[in-house]
Amino acid sequence: MRTHLPSRKVVAVLTVALLAAGMAACGNSDTGDNGDDGKITLGFSQVGAESGWRTANTTSIKEAAADAGFDLKFDDAQQKQENQIKAIRNFIQQKVDVIAFSPVVESGWDTVLKEAKDAKIPVILTDRSVDSADKSLYKTFLGSDFVKEGRLAGEWLVEQKKAATGPVNIVELQGTTGSAPANDRKKGFAEAIAASPNLKVIASQSGDFTRAGGKQVMEQFLKANPKIDVLFAHNDDMGLGALEAITAAGKVPGKDITIITVDAVKDGMQALADGKFNFIAECSPLLGPQLMDLVKKVHNGEEVPPRIETQETTFTQEQAKEALPNRKY
């Protein structure tokens, strides 16, 4: 019996069609383009909305993603690591092109970062970093040098108190426990004051980077310590919360207690210009445009530097008065 084999012409057409389908499939997995509208899809997991800094950072990211024409999938983790891990897993499932996130704490990311790597989705760290030994788990880290911020705060204090003969009692409002900015600012500040034995941190506790936390912990500090000379708050919001506690305790912020903070958001700068804060080390939240540029580059397979540091400055009360009218956030 004669079998009906396909003609050479039919085989050739089928082969071309199969090859084309195969190439299209490879193209999808290589570039990560979801086969949708051709836009780059960026999955971004944000820490939360704990501070004025964070609000400004979220606005910067959303605006820059829209300007770049990206399809942004934004998730607010409400300061919880498990929510961020869940969001990253969702992004992987949705086959986004690039994942970016600001890790709420430094440790515990290796497993989920490995999952992203296995799925061939590049990851960019922004604002905060992770302590993973395997640097191949992410493409780059864009953000501030938090140790430097703490050091600048400490160096300013050392200079201010260089003539002091008696003990200078310092209380410290730390950021979120286990977060890079809390760990690093504490470290930088401690290093800067280490050679000044009369500068002593008498109490140090987390206020979770929030105004409410700053107020509550400062109330405890004031109750437990009759003589507080200096407050070092790891961000403006905790410093602003502490102002309420200090005033309620009958003390004058900026005079009875020297207040040093980090960030330089508008409300913090206003408190500095008004003489309620004494010094701020800046931490810029305007990371959106640089981040989108990096997203484009890693999506195109271009090399990017492993670390990109944000440019920042410091402010005294006089400098805050000058800068305030043009402050964008």
157 binds ligand AHR (CB under 6 A): no
Element (H, E) at 163: none
CB 240 within 8 A of CB 274: no
List of residues 6+ apart from 317 with CB closer than 8 A: 272, 273, 275, 277, 278
Contact 282, 240 (CB under 8 A): no
Least Å distance, CB 221 to ligand AHR, is 19
Nearer to ligand AHR, 97 or 237 (CB): 237
CA distances from 219 to 202, 214, 235 (A): 15, 9, 17
Is 209 a binding residue for ligand AHR by CB under 6 A? The answer is yes
Sole binder of ligand AHR in the list 43, 181, 253, 254 (CB under 6 A)? 181
Please give the residues from 279 up to 318 whose contact with ligand AHR meets the rule CB under 6 A: 283
Place of tokens 């580059």: 297
The count of chain residues that interact with ligand AHR, using the rule CB under 6 A, is 13
DSSP E strands in the chain: the ranges are: 41-46, 71-76, 98-101, 123-126, 140-143, 168-174, 199-206, 230-233, 258-263, 279-282, 307-309, 314-315
> Residue 263, interface with ligand AHR (CB under 6 A)?
yes
| Residue placing its CB nearer to ligand AHR in the complex, 51 or 206 | 51
41 vs 57, beta carbon nearer ligand AHR = 57
Q: Which of 85, 113, 230, 262 binds ligand AHR (CB under 6 A)?
A: 262
Asked if residue 199 lies in contact with residue 168, where contact means CB atoms within 8 angstroms, the answer is yes
Task: Determine, following the binding rule CB under 6 A, whether residue 127 of this chain makes contact with ligand AHR.
Answer: yes
* Beta bridge pairs of residue 205: 173
CB of 325 to ligand AHR, least distance (A): 22
Among 96, 104, 128, 171, binds ligand AHR (CB under 6 A): 128
Q: How far is the CB of 127 from ligand AHR (least distance, A)?
A: 5
Residue linked to tokens 């809390």: 182
Q: Is 235 in the site for ligand AHR (CB under 6 A)?
A: yes
List the interface residues with ligand AHR, window 7-66 (CB under 6 A): 50-51, 53-54
Binding-site ranges for ligand AHR (CB under 6 A): 50-51, 53-54, 127-128, 181, 209, 235, 237, 262-263, 283
